[in-house]
């Protein structure tokens, strides 16, 4: 008796989803819990596992189609029931283009399926993230020839990027000069929509300051090895910025608030969004109750977020409900930028590259590790004096880290 493979339940805020990539074709043998298909929502990619050992006998929704929660997307048959051959008596959809093949065209036998360039989850032993799997299938990349650079040998999207062939005589790139059109991913469309929404619905203003990170760097250098030995995680800069922001938000709660019509919603908790880059675009997982976390706990969670973003395993609940956001363009070399609000939040802090610069200190010129800070805020509810004072509070905490311990 065929088993119906259905779309997982979607959160209330997600109306529908898109069929992203089938990892198993009709007739391919798969094992229990192997990923059959990736389904893309506005923020995360969902994996649909095989309910048991067996084969897909019919695919009802092809890649690129829109589906709803609990929609039947395929029919699956257990290995013991399936045997070696199966005749469904009706045409079966091809997941790559959604077209119906002729009735007299049989599904490829398992021996041929194993020769395809995009291997199934049952054939691979090395782990691979959904974004990398999708790109490998689109570009016909043989995953058996790829060495993963991620944790545990996990294959990441950047591992699939092959160097461009160059003519050694002319030193010019070879190959055709072509343009191609690709639809935006659902995540990219959501990012675009939210950024335009932020520009249209808020009175965004940005104010700047700079911070001397000499004391933070000295503290990290003094305790780096001990901290990592005890806590098993590297002591970075982000945890200091999170703690500094939390203390500043306590003093200026309007920056932790949101606009709702003609009302202001004040939050008495501190859920800090940490913007991280993923193969599918920028995502902002939320660090819950940041005020109750120590430096080691913050650093561990940020590392976990970064790995999940690369692997495409962030959950929708990880990406919703933040009250304030921190974004770090400095990891890409940015010296200065004006970050855009993350609706419905009213403020976002932009970190930038640490640059050694000559500074006047106590009448002498010294070289200091300086960083520009940028605070974008909704001027409808946040006055310039609050925004500037907020930045100065962050600056004071980072230039004298003992303030974070003493909460002064």
Could you count the other beta carbons within 10 Å of the beta carbon of residue 312?
26
| 90 pLDDT higher than 60 | no
d(CA 12, CA 46): 15
Read off the tokens for 375.
């605070």
pLDDT over 60 (residue 165) = no
Would you kindly state where each structural domain of the chain is located, as residue ranges?
3-123, 125-163, 195-406
* Of the listed ranges 70-74, 107-111, 127-131, 395-399, the one predicted with least confidence: 107-111
* Tokens 């910025």, located at residue: 241
For residues 182 and 405, give the distance between their C-alpha atoms in angstroms, rounded to a whole number: 51
Q: With H, G, I as helix, E, B as strand and everything else as coil, classify residue 260.
A: strand
Q: How confident is the model at residue 10 (pLDDT cuts 50, 70, 90)?
A: confident
Question: Helix and strand tally (H, E) in the chain?
Answer: 9, 19
Q: pLDDT: is 221 or 86 the higher one?
A: 221
pTM recorded for the entire structure:
0.64
Which is higher by pLDDT, 257 or 182?
257
Tokens representing 203 are 């009175």
Query: What pLDDT, in 10s, does the model give residues 347-393?
Result: 999 999 999 999 999 999 999 999 999 999 999 999 999 999 999 99
pLDDT of residue 205: 95
pLDDT the model gives residue 84:
44
Beta strand 347-351 with 324-328: parallel, antiparallel or unpaired?
parallel
Whether residue 113 has pLDDT greater than 60:
no
Q: Is the pLDDT of residue 309 over 60?
A: yes
Architecture of domain 3-123 in this structure: Beta Barrel (2.40)
At 212, is the secondary structure helix, strand, or coil? strand
379 is a catalytic site residue: yes
pLDDT band for 126, please (50, 70, 90 cuts). Answer: low
Q: For 108-116, which contacts have Cβ atoms below 8 Å and span 24 or more sequence positions?
A: 108/25, 108/27, 109/27, 110/27, 110/28, 110/29, 113/25, 113/27, 113/28, 116/25
Strand ranges for 196-301 from DSSP E = 204-212, 258-260, 263-265, 272-274, 276-278, 281-283, 286-287
**H helical segments located in 75-128:** 79-82, 110-113
Closest CA to 159 of 117, 131, 189: 131
As a whole number of angstroms, the distance between CA 400 and CA 395 comes to: 9
Q: What is the pLDDT of residue 80?
A: 67
Calculate the average pLDDT of the chain: 82
What homologous superfamily is domain 125-163 in, according to CATH? E3-binding domain (4.10.320.10)
Whether 133 has a pLDDT exceeding 90, the answer reads no
Could you report the per-residue pLDDT of 199-255, keeping only the tens digit for each?
Answer: 888 999 999 999 999 999 999 999 999 999 999 999 999 999 999 999 999 999 999
With a cut of 60, say whether residue 125 has pLDDT above it: no
What pLDDT was estimated at residue 173? 55
- Rg, the chain, Cα only: 26
User: How many whole angstroms separate alpha carbon 392 and alpha carbon 80?
Assistant: 68
Domain 195-406, CATH class in plain words: alpha beta
Task: Give 60: exposed, middle or buried? Use CB within 10 Å, 0-12, 13-18, 19+.
Answer: middle
Query: Of 53, 291, 379, 400, which residue is the catalytic one?
Result: 379
Of residues 3 and 154, more confidence is placed in 3
Signed CA dihedral, 301, 303, 305, 307: sign only:
negative
Active site residue 383: yes
Q: At what angle do helices 238-251 and 295-311 cross, to 10 degrees?
A: 110
Is pLDDT above 90 for 337? yes
The label of the residue with tokens 């005749």 reads 87
Mean pLDDT across 43-71: 87
Cis peptide before 344 (omega within 30 of 0): yes
């Amino acid at each position: 008796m065929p088993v119906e493979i259905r779309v997982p339940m979607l959160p209330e805020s997600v109306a529908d989803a898109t069929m992203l990539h089938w990892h198993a074709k009709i007739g391919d043998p798969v094992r229990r819990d192997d990923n059959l298909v990736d389904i893309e929502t506005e923020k995360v990619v969902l994996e649909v596992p095989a309910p048991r050992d067996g084969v897909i006998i019919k695919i009802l929704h092809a890649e690129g189609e829109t589906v709803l929660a609990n929609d039947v997307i395929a029919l699956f048959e257990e290995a013991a029931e399936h045997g070696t051959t199966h005749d469904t008596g009706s045409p079966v959809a091809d997941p790559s283009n959604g077209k119906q093949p002729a009735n007299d065209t049989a599904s490829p036998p398992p021996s041929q399926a194993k020769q395809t360039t995009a291997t199934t989850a049952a054939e691979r032993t090395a782990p691979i993230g959904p974004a990398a799997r999708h790109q490998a299938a689109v570009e016909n990349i043989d995953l058996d020839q790829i060495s993963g650079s991620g944790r545990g040998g996990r294959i990441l999207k950047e591992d699939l990027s092959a160097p461009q062939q160059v003519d050694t005589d002319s030193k010019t790139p070879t190959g055709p000069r072509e343009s191609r059109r690709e639809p935006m991913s659902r995540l990219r469309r959501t990012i675009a929509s939210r950024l335009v929404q932020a520009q249209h619905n808020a009175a965004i203003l940005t104010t700047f300051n700079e911070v001397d990170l000499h004391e933070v760097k000295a503290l990290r250098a003094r305790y780096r090895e001990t901290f990592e030995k005890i806590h098993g995680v590297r002591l970075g800069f982000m945890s200091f910025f999170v703690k500094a922001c939390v203390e500043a938000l306590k003093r200026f709660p309007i920056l932790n608030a949101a606009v709702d019509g003609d009302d202001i919603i004040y939050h008495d908790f501190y859920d800090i969004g940490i913007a991280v880059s993923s193969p599918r675009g920028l995502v902002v997982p939320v660090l819950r109750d940041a005020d109750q976390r120590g430096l080691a706990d913050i650093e561990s969670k940020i590392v976990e977020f970064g790995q999940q973003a690369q692997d495409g395993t962030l959950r929708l609940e990880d990406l919703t409900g933040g009250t304030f956001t921190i974004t770090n363009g400095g990891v890409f070399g940015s010296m200065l930028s004006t970050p855009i609000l993350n609706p419905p939040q009213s403020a976002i802090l932009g970190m930038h590259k640490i640059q050694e610069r000559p500074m006047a200190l106590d009448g002498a010129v010294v070289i200091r590790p300086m960083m520009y800070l940028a605070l974008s805020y909704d001027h409808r509810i946040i006055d310039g004096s609050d925004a500037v004072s907020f930045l100065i509070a962050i600056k004071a905490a980072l230039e004298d880290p003992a303030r974070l311990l003493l909460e002064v």
